Amino acid sequence: MNKQALITLLLALVAMAGHAQIHYRLEGNICRPDVTDTLSVIENRGFEKDGSILSETIDTLYIVNGNIVPIEGTLPESVTVTAMNKTLSTQLIHIMLTDGTTYINGTLNDFVVRQSGNPLADAMNQMEKDRLQITKEITDLLNSGEPIDTIALIAHEDSFVVSILKAHPNDQIGVVCMLDYADDICVLSPRRGIELIDMLDSTLVAKEPKLKGKKRDLQTRISTSEGAMFRDFTVEFNGKQQRLSDYVGRGQYVLVDFWASWCGPCREEIPNIVAAYSKYKDKGLQVVGVASLEESERSLKYVREQNIPYPQMFNAGMPVLQLYGIDGIPHIFLFAPDGTILARGLRGKDIGKKLEEIFNK
């Protein structure tokens, strides 16, 4: 082979490597003969646009009497996907699409699939089984009535997450573990959350919008933790602007609830917040709702239907949540009269306990 031919071959091989693809196939059944449905297959990675992470539908999955009509196609690399219908009545998560065939044989619970057929699918299946066992252990302990060592439980979860990240620093199993199974750790210690993300390969993290966003949010949470000064923001509704500084930093304790009417846990917290407002408003407590991530008219309608008595800021978008590193709602803050953050992530009985500490001194 002459020199020019060798160069041409090498260039062709480089080009092929640069456009390497995986050929996936998905088949099996969901062990529910009552289900005949059409599901959208949505790539979990998503893509960033205007500060939000949007999902991309890459295929369609037909289920007939519980049996999956096989699908196949090509992708640039292995991905995890969610398959669901518009009403979410049928939803399958953490499906691994990689080179070869992934077989589904029912689910491990209502959503997590039982899968096999290739090394990544087998490893994903084992991780899910181990995680469900940990969840069962925690649930059994919570229902036992025995004293609960929260730190020990978190340490148990931390050990599980570390074992997965060490075994899968370069693939989607590590990504799923970090995004879906490390939340308790990240809430308890954002710094530990960043340490866990840094166990993954930096190249992998760089091309995962959700992981990059999680790390950014954790870094922001560190800079907006207890003792930090509040960060101001502005929202606009019906031509009128409101600022957080209209309420915070003006000499009162202020409880701020980031919420949305579509969010079940948010709705569950509102009675606790209303009770706190009724009990302490005459002692110097201000409460503000920040309606987030939904059309303002829907938020206003819910406020009126529920007769929520404290003021609201409407039309808060993702940039507002990112300002405080909020990756899920409800998220409830307590600010001191001078605007410093006294507490964040308050829920349930902890709201009343924290306020009692302050107002019953």
Tokens encoding 86 = 């518009």
Name residue, tokens 């999902």.
55
343 three-state secondary structure? strand
Under DSSP, is residue 36 helix (H, G, I), strand (E, B) or coil? coil
Q: Which strands form 22-29's sheet, in the order they lie side by side?
A: 91-97, 79-84, 37-49, 52-64, 67-75, 22-29, 100-107, 113-116
The answer to whether the beta carbons of residues 168 and 174 sit under 8 Å apart is yes
Q: What is the pLDDT of residue 3?
A: 59
Q: Quick one: average pLDDT of 277-292? A: 95
Taking alpha carbons only, the member of 218, 250, 244, 260 closest to residue 320 is 244
Integer CA distances (angstroms), 184 to 40, 189, 222, 322, in order: 30, 9, 16, 19
Q: What is the rounded distance in angstroms from the CA atom of residue 345 to the CA atom of residue 352?
A: 13
pLDDT for 200 equals: 97
Residue 273 clears pLDDT 50, i.e. is over it: yes
Judge whether residue 192 has pLDDT over 90.
Answer: yes
Mean pLDDT of 61-89: 95
Report the pLDDT value the prediction gives residue 16, as an integer from 0 to 100: 44
| 13 pLDDT higher than 80 | no
Residue predicted with more confidence, 96 or 49: 96
The helix/strand/coil state of 240 is strand
Average pLDDT over the chain, rounded to an integer: 92
Six token digits for residue 332: 């409830």
Report the percentage of the chain scoring pLDDT > 90: 80
pLDDT tens-digit series, residues 225-262: 999 999 999 999 988 999 999 999 999 999 999 999 99
Q: What's the pLDDT band for 7 if we cut at 50, 70, 90?
A: low
Residue 338's identity, in one-letter code, is: D
Cβ density class 143-172: b for 16+ within 10 Å, e for less:
eeeeeeeeeebbeebbebbbebbeebeebb
The strands making up 253-259's β-sheet, listed across from edge to edge, are: 312-316, 285-292, 253-259, 331-335, 341-344
Kindly tell me the number of DSSP H helices and DSSP E strands found in the chain: 12, 15
Give yes or no for residue 98 having a pLDDT over 60. Answer: yes
CA distance 172 to 323: 28
**Residue 250, both tokens:** 């003006």
Q: Which residues contact 93 (CB under 8 A, 6 or more apart)?
A: 82, 111, 112, 113
Residue ranges of domains in the chain: 18-113, 149-223, 234-359
**Rounded to two decimals, what is the model's pTM?**
0.77
* Bridge partner list, 80: 96
Q: How far apart are CA 328 and CA 202, in angstroms?
A: 25
The structural architecture, per CATH, of the domain 18-113 is Sandwich (2.60)
- Sorted by sequence, the CB contacts under 8 Å of residue 262 that are 6+ apart come out as 294, 298
Of the chain, the percentage scoring pLDDT greater than 70 comes to 94
Q: What would be the CATH architecture of the domain defined by 234-359? A: 3-Layer(aba) Sandwich (3.40)
pLDDT in tens, 207-216: 999 999 899 9
Q: pLDDT for 138-169, tens place per residue?
A: 889 888 888 888 888 889 999 999 999 999 99
Residue 327 above 90 pLDDT? no
